[in-house]
Structure 1
Amino acid sequence: MNQQHSLPAAVLWDLDGTLIDSEPFWFASERALAARFGATWSDADAHAQIGAELTVTARSLRDAGVDLPVPDIIELLVAEVAEKVRTSAPWNADARALLERVVAAGIPCALVTMSYSRLAQAFLATAPDAFAVVVTGDRVAHGKPHPEPYLTAAAELGVPIAQCVAVEDSPTGVASALAAGARTVGVERIVPLDPRPGLARVRSLEGLGPEDLLTVHDHGRPARS
């Protein structure tokens, strides 16, 4: 733990849905691709992909009727979403404010996303110098909900995972972070999160500072000492 003992040693951030409101970009790209092939892609189908590996999403689109190889589906989706993020990164204001406070406190940060490097780089152009480590879906053998992405981030930061806080917004991402051993703050932006040991569910990150990340309790209630 860092010298103040009340702050996490590092903060590990999910990207899509957590830091930026990019899920609508993914939904629109998935629907457009499905429509090209006369496939049906419902809102439920789109929501089921939140936090998933891109290979999972691509296979689901193939099963729905998109007659393309999985790598081609991924390339099309990533290229389209990356361009949208590059031209207009839709930051979630509460997350950006917390990120700025965490960086100002000198706490190292990692970006841990199942998006691929091309999209992550488009985002990072809007957040220079905030992240010491970037772990993307095309860098790991096992994506979320496997613990590998978060374990990789902590190892590359040189920080024990148990002393890190992960910030997530999807059940898949929460499962990954908790399996790795990180305390996890889950923001219920689009989908609800089930209660789990080690998880603090919040409606918003608004008003939170780095000193709150180890003590915030379910739905924003402070933990009792």
Structure 2
Amino acid sequence: MTESRPSAAPAAVLWDMDGTLVDTEPYWIATEHAMADKYGGTWSQEQALSLVGNDLLSSGRVLKEAWGLPQSPAEVVEELLDGVVARVEESVPWQPGAPELLASLRDAGVPCALVTMSYERFVAPILRHLPAETFRVIVTGDQVERGKPHPEPYLTAAASLGLDPQDCVAIEDSNTGAKSAEAAGCAVLVVENHVPVLDGPRRVFRPTLQGLGPADVATVLAEVAARG
């Protein structure tokens, strides 16, 4: 039986994907290193982590320049996606507590959206492991003109749900993503993963998603509202 949405709950929860819903950052990094080896280039862990949260075309431009590739940034991204999609089709590495929180939000009647800079063909095999319509709205990097850290992705998700971003909580793991959600007006629940995230006026930090439910997400909105 579906519960009614708690009155204190956010109007919606807007989820980042890589590093937040699923721990796929190691897949991206492994693929980047494989491409560096293929093209005789070098690539460090520090360089890889600097791309976390970026829109893919920006990353494609960085990789093209780093390795002096003749391909366009878009072509570099497609090769990168080939490698990462192959890995995620073998195994989906869920972040601890993420599937459980998604399920509890669904049971509480809180709508969720996915806001990711990954492209649709990478998102699809992950969504196949979730119940249909887990996300009422899906915004991918190939659907927006300006990716994170620009607010467009989160503004697009909130508008598609017919909601004010200020009534929504975004869940993020990177500075780039948190900046995007904050600029859109969302309260941001930050769970750090591979990179440290700076403090911000609309950011609330938690060590993990494990054990969190709708009431815990509601406290994020309340904390941000109390700051004025």
TM-score normalized by structure 1?
0.92
Aligned pairs for 1:61-72 within 5 A: 61-67=63-69, 68-72=71-75
Structure 1 residue 166 and structure 2 residue 173: aligned? no
User: Match of 2:158?
Assistant: 154
* AA of the residue aligned to 2:120: S
User: Match of 1:185?
Assistant: 189
User: Match of 1:8?
Assistant: 10
Moved more, 30-39 or 163-172: 30-39
Structure 1 residue 145 and structure 2 residue 154: aligned? no
Structure 1 residue 126 and structure 2 residue 133: aligned? no
Structure 1 residue 195 and structure 2 residue 199: aligned? yes
Aligned mate of 1:215, from 202, 209, 219: 219
Deviations 1:39-64 (A, max 9, x none): 11100000000000111111111111
User: Match of 1:17?
Assistant: 19
Q: What is the Cα deviation at residue 214 of structure 1?
A: 2.8
* AA of the residue aligned to 1:79: D
Q: Where in structure 2 are there 5+ consecutive unaligned residues?
A: none
Moved more, 65-74 or 115-124: 65-74
Q: What is the Cα deviation at residue 179 of structure 1?
A: 0.2
Q: What is the Cα deviation at residue 88 of structure 1?
A: 0.9
Q: What is the Cα deviation at residue 194 of structure 1?
A: 1.1
Deviations 1:9-41 (A, max 9, x none): 100000000010100000000111111111111
* AA of the residue aligned to 1:94: G
Q: What is the Cα deviation at residue 162 of structure 1?
A: 0.8
Following TM superposition, where does structure 1 have runs of at least 4 consecutive aligned residues deviating by more than 2 angstroms?
2-5
Q: Distance in 2 between matches of 1:91 and 1:32?
A: 23
User: Match of 1:37?
Assistant: 39
Q: What is the Cα deviation at residue 83 of structure 1?
A: 2.3
Q: Secondary structure of the equivalent of 1:93?
A: coil
Structure 1 residue 106 and structure 2 residue 100: aligned? no
Q: Distance in 2 between matches of 1:66 and 1:112?
A: 31
* AA of the residue aligned to 2:63: L
Q: Distance in 2 between matches of 1:139 and 1:145?
A: 15
* AA of the residue aligned to 1:168: E
Q: Where in structure 1 are there 5+ consecutive unaligned residues?
A: none
TM-score normalized by structure 2?
0.91
User: Match of 1:206?
Assistant: 210
Q: Distance in 1 between matches of 2:15 and 2:9?
A: 16
Deviations 1:143-166 (A, max 9, x none): 000000000001111111111100
Aligned pairs for 1:78-93 within 5 A: 78-93=81-96
Q: Distance in 2 between matches of 1:97 and 1:80?
A: 28
Paired-residue identity, %: 47
The answer to whether the Cα contact below 8 Å between 1:33 and 1:66 also exists between their aligned partners in 2 is no
The answer to whether the Cα contact below 8 Å between 1:8 and 1:107 also exists between their aligned partners in 2 is yes
User: In angstroms, what is the RMSD of aligned CA positions?
Assistant: 1.8
